[in-house]
Amino acid sequence: MQANPAVVAAVPLPPSLEDSSVVATENWAARLLDPSVDARGSTLAARLRHAGLCLALSASYGGAFGAAGEGRAIVGGGAGVALAWIAVAVLGVPALGIVLSLADAPIAWSDLADATARATARGSLVLAGLAPTLALYAVSVEDPRSAAMLGAAGLALAWLLALVSLAESIVRRAVGARAVAVAACAGFAAFSTILVARIWSAQLFGGAS
């Protein structure tokens, strides 16, 4: 028996096979990536809780990095990865906000804080997702270079995704000042990439760049 084409056309595709934007998933990862979904997301306590969760997720990757060593290496690795996010938020983001304000870009400080929170969440979630794979390498190989190579690749991916997320948010909002926003984001990207590379290099790879 052949199916009636008209009936087949009328049957909707399963949500999984269509654009995922129609899939309403109760998903903590999605909430982490967009804290504004939560009505309480803008309170200071909620912001601090969100930042703490992101730092803990990032620290899990650093912990996996040091999994081949002693307890101190695990703690040191975790702190090292988290430290880079803190350094960028404290040293880089305020400078970016000042440059954008000087250019009178229509971006409020709260928008910048939201964009930073989303970008940090993005990078942290990627790091947490990759942490078990890195831990597998760290504990099952004798030569630490393999785990270091993989660890560096994961950090680079997470950093890149976070940076793209932040730049996208800012440039999208900077109506009428796009060129300034792009230039400011480029400068911020250069500064913060060097900063995190320096921190991660010193904390995780035992070197100083």
Partner 1 sequence: MSAAASATSATAIDRILRKPRALASDCVDERLEPSVIATAIATIVGGAALFGGVLGALRGGRQIAYAAMKMPLAMLVTLIVAIPAFHALSAVFGRPRTLRVAVSLALTAAARTSLVLVAATPSLWLFVDLGAETASVKLAATLAYALAGLAGLVVLLAGIGRGPGGARTALTFGVVFLLAGAQSAYALRPYLIGRGGRAVTFLAHDREGGLLNELERAASEVFVREGARSEPRR
Question: Which positions touch partner 1 (CB under 8 A)?
Answer: 14-21, 23, 25-27, 29-30, 32-33, 122, 125-126, 128-133, 135-137, 140-143, 145-147, 149-150, 157, 161
For residues 43 and 146, which CB has a smaller minimum distance to partner 1 in the complex? 146
For residues 60 and 97, which CB has a smaller minimum distance to partner 1 in the complex? 60
Alpha-carbon span 51 to 35, nearest angstrom:
10
Shortest Å distance, C-beta 1 to partner 1: 18
Shortest Å distance, C-beta 36 to partner 1: 15
3 state SS of 92 = helix
Residue 188 near residue 165 (C-beta atoms within 8 A): no
The residues, any chain, with a CB within 8 Å of residue 36's CB and separated by 6 or more, are 42, 114
Residue 159 near residue 123 (C-beta atoms within 8 A): yes
Shortest Å distance, C-beta 41 to partner 1: 17
Nearest to 123 by CA among 58, 49, 203: 58
For residues 70 and 142, which CB has a smaller minimum distance to partner 1 in the complex? 142
For residues 96 and 135, which CB has a smaller minimum distance to partner 1 in the complex? 135
Nearest to 54 by CA among 103, 122, 6: 122
Shortest Å distance, C-beta 119 to partner 1: 11
